[in-house]
Amino acid sequence: MTRTFFVGGNWKMNGSVAAVSTLVDGLNTASLKQGVEVVIAPPALYIPAVQSSLKAGHVAAQNIYSESKGAFTGEISAEMLKDVGVQWVILGHSERRHVFGETDELIAKKAKHALGVGLKVIFCIGETLQEREANKTTEVVFHQLSAVAQVVSDWSNIVIAYEPVWAIGTGKVATPVQAQEVHHDIRVWLKDHVSPQAAENTRIVYGGSVNAGNCQEIGRQADVDGFLVGGASLKPEFADIINAAQ
């Protein structure tokens, strides 16, 4: 089958009322290639503003908690996102893992809950520089995937985002060959541990200092189905990345 090219824009903790308006207007007026699924993840405070004005794609949250409601000050539930019409959530981003200490097991629990509520999940995985230099890339990403596979059987609403931690926000980027190798390994893992159908149908996107200059070559790789973009999603070049769909 042909997997629909996917481009996510993770704004992280950036934005203002004026900046959101400018960014959304830029996307709405850009000449974008048809047939690309675009998902924008603003800070939670600005989700309604983006929802009400974005014409070029869908809106995601950057995180949820694993429970429906309760005494969890500062958290947002999957049910709340569904209540306001949000369709996607990013889970497992390296900043959640390494800055906020989220474990593979907690992230898997969040993913199971989100999918059960009806959200689609952008599930982030990736290794640190130390782990790559120790040749532990596949060991790390397979462990991260395994945590989800233990609690989730249906992967039809999951997009896997391979984001090597050493490339996020550093200006460094995996070479097209490096990206393809890991994406291929992930697809083989899906075949062996989930199902051949999941391996064929699941979109695996690359993230980590993606920009207009490197997206074309990376996007041409057989097992790269799009991008999860950080800093460049706050710039006009985000439209060029969307248009890198092969």
The catalytic site residues sit at 93, 163
Longest dimension (CA), the chain: 48
What distance in Å separates the CA atoms of residue 236 and residue 37, rounded to the nearest whole number?
18
What is the C-alpha to C-alpha distance for residues 6 and 14, in angstroms, rounded to an integer?
22
Per the structure block, which two tokens stand in for 202? Answer: 């699941």
CA–CA dist 200, 220 (Å, integer): 17
**Whole-number Å distance between alpha carbons of 157 and 121:** 6
Report whether 230 contacts 124 (CB < 8 A): no
